[in-house]
Amino acid sequence: MQITEDKVVSVSYNLTASKDNGPEELIEQTTTDRPFAFLFGYGGVLPDFETNLASKQKGDKFDFKVTAKNGYGSFEKDYLVKVDKTAFMVDGKFDDARVIVGEDIEMNDAEGNQLVGRVLQITDSFVEMDFNHPLAGYDLHFIGEVLDIRNASKEELEHGHVHGPGGHHH
C-alpha cells in the first residue's frame, strides 16, 4: 500500500534542526514503540513533510530536509513583544506561579486568536515574550522509516485526524 490521501501513516524518525548553517541538534525522536501517526492529505503536518512521504510504502526509509522558509518560517523580531505586567494579574497579584522565564504561556490576541508565547524576561513593568514558533528560523532534517500505512476509518476522515495509538484520543 502506498501513502496517498486518506491513509493513516505511522513513521519513526529523528528530527534535527540547524540555524544559519550551524550544527544540527536533535529536536525530536520517535520510535517504533512510539511512532508518529498522521492522516495524510489533511494539513496536519508540514506540506514538505507530506510531499517527501507521498507514494512511499511500508518499510521505505526517508532522509529529507525542509528549509526554514518551508517549515516554520523566519524568526521575526516583531514577534518579540513586551506585555504590560498587569496583563498577568490574578486577583490583584502577579501570577508568578505561571509566568516564569522559559515557560510557554497560552494567550489570546485582541481578536481572540489563541497564541503561545515563551517568557523571555520579567521586569518591574513588563513581561517580554517571544511569539515565534520555537523552530522559526531553523532548517529541519528528517531521517526515518515508514512503519505502517492503513486506510483511515470513517470517523478519522470526518474528524480530520488519527485516533488510537500514535494519534488523538477522545
Bridge partners (DSSP) of residue 130 are: 80, 118
CATH topology of domain 7-72+138-159: Chitinase A; domain 3 (3.10.50)
pLDDT for residue 165 is more than 70 = no
- Over residues 1-48, the pLDDT tens digits come to 999 999 999 999 999 999 988 999 999 999 999 999 999 999 999 999
The reported pLDDT for the residue numbered 168 is 57
CATH code of 77-130, in short, is 2.40.10.330
Strand residue runs (E) in 23-98: 25-29, 36-39, 61-66, 80-84, 89-90, 93-94
62-108 pLDDT tens trace:
999 999 999 999 999 999 999 999 999 999 999 999 999 999 999 98
* Top-confidence residue, 157 or 168: 157
All structural domains of the chain with their residue ranges: 7-72+138-159, 77-130
Q: pLDDT confidence of 109, banded at 50, 70, 90?
A: confident
State how far the alpha carbon of 59 is from the alpha carbons of 54, 102, 143, 162, in Å.
14, 39, 13, 20
Question: CA 109 to CA 158: how far, in whole Å?
Answer: 30
Residue 127 banded pLDDT, cuts 50, 70, 90: very high
Residue 152 DSSP symbol: P
One fold for 7-72+138-159 and 77-130: no
Predicted pLDDT of residue 14: 98
